[in-house]
Structure 1
């Protein structure tokens, strides 16, 4: 992954974390080992809402950003750099 920029790696890792978290929630396996009787329904609702917001935000960030992960994309990024059109 040495050819990927830091932003691409961070967005990809966060996206996978969000998707894994949502998958665990769907199958009833919460990430935090908290017993059902230890939390109230409000806390559970807030946790689920927070997880969903995290997933939506990371998905949108990964979707809207130009990640240049294919060979063609890497070549495009190099051309943009040479032309001074990217960071």
Structure 2
């Protein structure tokens, strides 16, 4: 197993335990903390997606030149 699979599974287990405890009436993780974490992760993901889907890096600029050369842009 790779690290990404293990980390996703561990986060799933924590989320399930948190949900069960909340259903039973125990406040484990505050909603404010969850909202903050989601906001940070979302922001990081949007920045990463923007970087990967635009021709900003050296490799991306080279890819853009290849597309122009073959008139695919």
TM-score range, shorter chain: 0.3 to 0.5
Q: Which has the higher contact order (CA 8 A, sep 6+)?
A: 1
Structure with larger Rg: 2
Q: What TM-score do the two structures reach when normalised by structure 2? A: 0.38
Per the normalisation by structure 1, the TM-score is: 0.33
Question: Which structure shows the bigger proportion of residues in helix conformation?
Answer: 2
